[in-house]
Structure 1
């Protein structure tokens, strides 16, 4: 394996990355962790029967919590770490998708056996796994907050799994002002006790730089607009365009057993059609779930709406409000500019505020803000 640090330095040397002191410090720490995980797999002189007789457990390398604002290169560093970690017992997953799996596992455990469901779920997750890497750790609901402390204590301290995660927030800012947050505080203490917390919070937003020179609102509808939105997706996610047929999808948990299918979902960027979001019966809670889960949302096929589309227009207003309040970047293909999308119909007065917000969401000031509610 070439190593995380060597791979990072090679990208800087090739001009694909700008030299960044905080990024390199993170690469040094990730490189050290990768080597510790690899060394732990090497045969031990106290292995086998002798190791068991003296009661020596393999040392679990300390994990990393890498946090910082949007566009600081967290996902890029996670890419390098996972790609250059030379062990088979590793897994990388988006944190939101992981928590969906956890809740499903807890439901199955409760149905199949009595007692505490956390230990069997943690054991199942940890089976044949030594390093679990997350993208975008974020906590948006009390159901997650209530179980995370016990689950991750079990994974780290009992199952010996090394956790590496990125987040837009410092540990103490997770689930801030959330319902029953007192039950979540032990998880914050666990992170600060069990992981190295590294800030990556400098002034340069590299994701915003990738959007430099392109608009975020493409009109009219057609092949040209679609191609530009598609290009924005690949710029933001680093997903190879030549493999576009295999972009991952997701099913977003809306609560109450409901799911929203996300046709393209990668590195915090989601792609939806207008029909999927606004032509179906949806409410504010659905749009809040989208806004919390994704830092960038691409909506394609926004039509001009009239009085007969008042329901779609009302849902679009609610969608934009949720995205705006959580500082989500919106990229869209549309039949018209915002001020011509809904020229007449019930709620036209309220739609004027949406027009204003859509115009602000295209500004450099708005695009430079980090993801999350105020």
Structure 2
């Protein structure tokens, strides 16, 4: 009998939403195996332990698309799909609630109040919500994440939670050169022991190919350019659902309302009219491989603060080699012709033009 994910994949191909890619075959087979194993039951209806799947490879090889199909098609009723950063942000919040909560608060949130270690009650709460956790874009750069991941996942696996994970890195390359990495390696060992590790390193980057065949600077702000901007956004995210991303920056939270995997979309007003600074833009640039920036107006002397923020944003995207798609009122040269910092803005114009080039759009980001 054809698996649910295989049927969903074939339908997408028939509808022309995706093109067949032999390099995705091994990943698809692994997810079919996982789907089948999740449906098995042990003696007397008990739930057996199930090996998860860890898909890794360069961006644009269809990992997130396959994960979306798997999550949507899986008949497992208790399932949850989350970007890994969002999941870890919640974990840290739950740890905080346990540590700061009194007995009454702990019972209300965790259904228990005993003990000093927050990991077991946090793992029990997560396991009560979902048997299957689908994580997109697992990457570890934060020492706070690195220090608790091994114990957290060990506790989740003890509670028979099953994971399906995508990442741009092989397990052994996670948190590479990180502080106190030796304390993180047990997490790597647990992942490899409890998941089938599958590389999805096809020769083609579908998103990169799509961008290289399309304009990435849309001007002026009219119906035609808005339509082109929307079509490219729709093509790149495919059927991936949009969700807000919450980025922790210096004890604050920066929210990007529209994201899909490694894609983000925001308006000029959201990123440059607000009092955001270099660390905020660096967090956006590091988190996303591609940013769609909409409704960029022509700026004048009265907008020098907004122009300064745009310069800072573009600097962060440029240094991180993030791809940029813009819907603007004018060409880069005409965006900020006069005002405080207009001379310095010429460097930003140069960068904006470079970021439209084929060499920029087709590079592999590390």
Closer, same or farther: CA 329–304 of 1 in aligned 2, 3 Å: same
Q: What residue is the counterpart of 2:69 in the other structure? A: 80
Q: What residue is the counterpart of 1:171 in the other structure? A: 171
Closer, same or farther: CA 356–8 of 1 in aligned 2, 3 Å: same
Q: What residue is the counterpart of 1:47 in the other structure? A: 44
Matched, 1:91 2:80: yes
TM-score of the aligned structures, taking structure 2 as reference length: 0.88
Matched, 1:35 2:32: no
Q: Is the 8 A contact 1:314 1:347 kept in 2?
A: yes
TM-score of the aligned structures, taking structure 1 as reference length: 0.86
Residues 176-204 of structure 1 show CA distances to partners (whole Å, capped at 9, x for unaligned) of: 33344333232222222322211111210
Q: What residue is the counterpart of 1:51 in the other structure? A: none
Which residue of 75, 96, 116 corresponds with 1:107? 96
Q: Is the 8 A contact 1:8 1:24 kept in 2?
A: no
Q: Is the 8 A contact 1:250 1:263 kept in 2?
A: yes
1:342, CA displacement in angstroms?
2.1
C-alpha distance in structure 1 between counterparts of 2:193 and 2:333, whole Å: 52
C-alpha distance in structure 2 between counterparts of 1:77 and 1:142, whole Å: 29
C-alpha distance in structure 2 between counterparts of 1:78 and 1:235, whole Å: 17
Matched, 1:191 2:191: yes
Matched, 1:344 2:344: no
C-alpha distance in structure 1 between counterparts of 2:360 and 2:51, whole Å: 37
1:14, CA displacement in angstroms?
6.0
SS of structure 2 residue aligned to 1:282: coil
Which residue of 271, 281, 284 corresponds with 1:290? 284
Runs of 4+ in 1 over 6 A off after TM superposition: none
Q: Equivalent residues in 2 for 1:265-304 (5 A)?
A: 265-304=259-298
C-alpha distance in structure 2 between counterparts of 1:149 and 1:348, whole Å: 50
C-alpha distance in structure 2 between counterparts of 1:13 and 1:223, whole Å: 31
C-alpha distance in structure 1 between counterparts of 2:48 and 2:30, whole Å: 18
Q: What residue is the counterpart of 1:244 in the other structure? A: none
SS of structure 2 residue aligned to 1:369: coil
C-alpha distance in structure 2 between counterparts of 1:334 and 1:178, whole Å: 39
C-alpha distance in structure 1 between counterparts of 2:180 and 2:276, whole Å: 27
Q: What residue is the counterpart of 1:200 in the other structure? A: 200
Which residue of 38, 55, 61 corresponds with 2:50? 61
C-alpha distance in structure 2 between counterparts of 1:289 and 1:16, whole Å: 31
C-alpha distance in structure 1 between counterparts of 2:282 and 2:183, whole Å: 23
Q: What residue is the counterpart of 1:305 in the other structure? A: 299
Q: What residue is the counterpart of 1:327 in the other structure? A: 321
SS of structure 2 residue aligned to 1:343: coil
C-alpha distance in structure 1 between counterparts of 2:296 and 2:267, whole Å: 8
SS of structure 2 residue aligned to 1:262: strand
C-alpha distance in structure 1 between counterparts of 2:259 and 2:18, whole Å: 24
Q: Give the aligned length.
A: 353
Q: What residue is the counterpart of 1:360 in the other structure? A: 354
C-alpha distance in structure 2 between counterparts of 1:178 and 1:356, whole Å: 34
**Could you list the runs of 5+ residues in structure 1 that have no partner in the other structure?**
49-56, 241-246
Matched, 1:217 2:217: yes
Pairwise CA RMSD: 2.3
Q: What residue is the counterpart of 2:151 in the other structure? A: 150
1:251, CA displacement in angstroms?
4.6
Matched, 1:117 2:118: yes
Task: Please identify, of 118-127 and 353-362, the stretch whose mean Cα deviation from structure 2 is larger.
Answer: 353-362
Closer, same or farther: CA 319–183 of 1 in aligned 2, 3 Å: farther
Closer, same or farther: CA 71–353 of 1 in aligned 2, 3 Å: same
C-alpha distance in structure 2 between counterparts of 1:326 and 1:150, whole Å: 32
Residues 196-254 of structure 1 show CA distances to partners (whole Å, capped at 9, x for unaligned) of: 211111210112233353211111123333222222221111249xxxxxx64415233
C-alpha distance in structure 1 between counterparts of 2:139 and 2:172, whole Å: 12
Q: What residue is the counterpart of 1:231 in the other structure? A: 231
Closer, same or farther: CA 347–207 of 1 in aligned 2, 3 Å: same
1:10, CA displacement in angstroms?
5.0
